[in-house]
Amino acid sequence: MNAKRVAALWVLTMTALGWAQSADELIAKNLAARGGAEKLRAIQSMVITGTIQFGESSSPITVKIHRPNQIREDFQLEGGDFVRAFDGTAGWQMQKNGEQVKTEAMSGGEKDNIQEEAENAIEGPLLDYAKKGSKAEFLGKDTLDGTPVFKLKITTHMGTAITKFLDASTYLEIHEELERSVNGKLTTIVEQVGDFREVGGVKFAQRFVSGPRENPSTTKLQFDKMELNVAMDAGVFVMPKP
Q: Write out pLDDT tens, residues 114-123.
A: 999 999 999 9
When pLDDT is averaged across residues 135-153 and rounded to a whole number, the result is 96
The confidence band for 184, taking pLDDT boundaries of 50, 70 and 90, is confident
Does the pLDDT of residue 72 top 90, yes or no? yes
Q: Measured between alpha carbons, how far is residue 129 from residues 32, 84, 156, 174 in Å? A: 15, 25, 8, 20
| pTM score, whole prediction | 0.87
User: How many CB atoms lie under 10 A from the CB of residue 63?
Assistant: 21
pLDDT at 16: 40
Domains and CATH numbers, the chain: 21-237 (2.50.20.10)
In the predicted model, what is the mean pLDDT of the chain? 90
Residue 79 CB contacts under 8 Å (≥ 6 apart), including other chains:
97
pLDDT at 241: 85
Does the pLDDT of residue 7 top 80, yes or no? no
Q: pLDDT exceeding 90 applies to what percent of the chain?
A: 80
**Per-residue DSSP letter, 13:** H
CA dist 146 and 56 (Å) reads 29
Q: Where are the beta strands (DSSP E) in the chain?
A: 45-54, 57-66, 70-77, 80-86, 91-97, 100-105, 135-144, 147-155, 161-167, 173-182, 185-199, 202-212, 219-228
Contact status, residue 51 vs residue 59, Cβ threshold 8 Å: yes
The confidence band for 59, taking pLDDT boundaries of 50, 70 and 90, is very high
pLDDT at 165: 98
More confident residue, 96 or 183: 96
Helix intervals (H) in 121-207: none
